[in-house]
Structure 1
């Protein structure tokens, strides 16, 4: 490769890595074009290895893989830039140009801001400016990555806390409804549902800002956000359509949370989760009737659930993407 083309290709590679890193760590929506594909590839491989469920090391591996891509691309790109001129790096004592391996060593020390001591020096003032740019580039990327990792860890903790809060209302969709039933209504449940609205909204926004969050899956059902949010959505379906009209909560108490859950499903559907081919079975009404909750007829509820089939196809896709079966929603002790 000629010197000119080496410089052009190297500059393009550096630009791609920088755009991808900034897109992933700073932009408010989605991962970069390369790191996003890396993340999805690692996730798919991990699920294949884990028998359909991503192991606990998947999320950290995605972060490490993205970091290695950024550093490797920058290292190679800047090496190609310096290779455009054989005299870009020289021995300060003899003036002899560095060979390819020595230039790779020099670029690595620049990127890591370790410095070179008296071993090598830029061949001219212009190359000295380039060397400073490389050092600044390396420092900026490392800072961005560290900050991003801390934010992702915080988002993972928030997702598991959200799942735990939902689990506190009830381990299954029916348990959410029956646990709030007082014998004449659902006094107090409206407050809990209203408190969940900003938590679910924030969870959806974090998925947009930190796409790597999707690759951190919990081993336990009670802290699995996909499972518990699917269970919550099914509970809202029961409250809105399964409970008899005379005992239902007001739409203004149920619909805000349904809307933010729908927005969360839309967010995941753009990048991560494909809807299932068919909608799952409607949640059973018998546990509600067993504790005295007035319910509609089975046929009427089946029609109402069928009207939500597109949404419920996405819910099933979400649960399966997490390596779970739809039946897990009805089994509160499901683990591993």
Structure 2
């Protein structure tokens, strides 16, 4: 009975962790349910350390999340396979033919997953021989797929930081950005807006396929996505309410729509990782509030942006300066 329980528990762990692993790395549809919990927990740990050690620890935020996920994948696979082997202790023996004890089975499981292949222990039944072969291949797939996934994350991170730098280059507050866009020639402004729309859309796609990108941030506020995205969104609101709104009306809407779609997806998929907003910022807080239509969409945009700002330890005063 005990052996049957060990087998069932081991198989269950393996099925869950392998589904989570392949869903996260190969589906392009976001994090699996285990990875999502691990990522959120790792981020909470980083935020706790920020309170003790300061914002410099944020440089390790994305790295911490990635390593935590990889650690959980390897550990759960190791534990699950160990329990399967332990369901029949006599199935693993050493070179002298003696049955492997608990620690030796744990060691054997580890070098099978890592494809080390020492050869000083081996399975004795056809079932466990085939199982050992399968998990030797799986170990290779696990490590190579993980590295491929993290390389893709690095590429998505570069695109995210390029978007941040592009917005920051336009200005350090909403008024400056709106004035700069308004001062450009029409053709140049249209090109800037089109480029920004493409970059926001690309980041939204990357963010959905590789959600760990969300957890990468920087100690310097100017390098944070939340700050620059809030400045850009507010600048677009100012332009739409300006006297020259007809100059940009058609060109602004696609970019504003792209930003709002990204913010809504962020609010839906990362609700647990972003702080709640009890008292949303009021329109009167902004010196330019009279030129902006304060409708429900605008309130919703600011609510989500405020959550994003708080998740990176920032506030609206950093946006408007």
TM normalised by structure 1 equals 0.87
Separation in structure 2 between the aligned mates of residue 214 and residue 192 of structure 1, nearest angstrom: 25
Give the structure 1 partner of residue 11 of structure 2: 11
Tell me if structure 2 keeps the 8 A contact 1:207–1:267: no
Q: How does 1:10-159 map to 2 (within 5 A)?
A: 10-51=10-51, 55-93=58-96, 95-117=97-119, 119-159=120-160
CA contact (8 A) 2:239 2:245 kept: no
Distance 1:188 1:278, change over 3 A: farther
Deviation, structure 1 residue 30: 2.1
CA distance in 1, matches of 2:213, 2:225: 11
CA distance in 1, matches of 2:45, 2:106: 32
Aligned partners of 1:186, 1:238: CA distance in 2, in Å? 17
RMSD value, Cα: 2.0
Shift in alpha-carbon separation, 1:276–1:192, aligned structure 2, 3 A: same
Equivalent of 1:315, from 296, 305, 309? Answer: 305
Say whether the 8 Å CA contact 2:221–2:314 is kept in structure 1: no
Cα shift readout 1:90-118 (whole Å, capped 9, x = no counterpart): 1243x22111111111111100001022x
For 2:280 and 2:247, the matched residues in 1 are separated by 25
- Report the counterpart of residue 230 of structure 1 in structure 2: 230
Give secondary structure in 2 for the equivalent of 1:176. Answer: helix
Structure having the larger proportion of residues in helix: 2
Deviation at 1:222, TM superposition (A): 3.0
Q: Contact 2:114–2:140 (CA<8 Å) still a contact in 1?
A: yes
1:115-162 deviation line (CA, Å, top 9, x unaligned): 022x21111232111110111111111111111111112212211111
Residues 55-112 of structure 1 show CA distances to partners (whole Å, capped at 9, x for unaligned) of 211211111111111111011100110111122111243x221111111111111000
2:294 — aligned with what? 305
Q: Are residues 221 and 182 of structure 1, via their aligned partners in 2, closer, same or farther at CA, if it must alter by over 3 Å? A: same
Q: Is the 8 A contact 1:239 1:248 kept in 2?
A: no
- SS where residue 89 of structure 2 aligns? coil
Matches within 5 A, 1:203-218: 203-218=203-218
Unaligned 5+ runs, structure 2: none
Cα separation, 2, equivalents of 1:257 and 1:152: 24
Q: Which residue of 2 aligns with 1:270?
A: 268
Q: Paired residues, what number?
A: 312
Q: Distance in 2 between matches of 1:78 and 1:133?
A: 11
Q: Does the 8 A contact of 2:168 with 2:228 survive in 1? A: yes
**Which one is further off, 48-57 or 7-16?**
48-57
| TM-score using structure 2 length | 0.91
Q: Give the superposition deviation at 1:215.
A: 1.0
Q: State the alpha-carbon separation in 2 of the partners of residues 229 and 247 from structure 1.
A: 21
Aligned ranges for residues 321-336 of structure 1 at < 5 Å? Answer: 321-331=311-321
Larger Rg: 1
> Structure 1, unaligned stretches of length 5 or more?
286-297, 332-336
Q: CA deviation at 1:230?
A: 1.2
Give deviations 1:262-283, integer Å, cap 9, x for gaps: 1110121122246633443444
Q: Report Cα offsets for 1:191-216 as digits up to 9, x if no partner.
A: 10011111101101111111111111
**Residue 256 of structure 1: which of 239, 251, 254 is its match?**
254
**Structure 1 runs of 4+ off > 6 angstroms?**
none
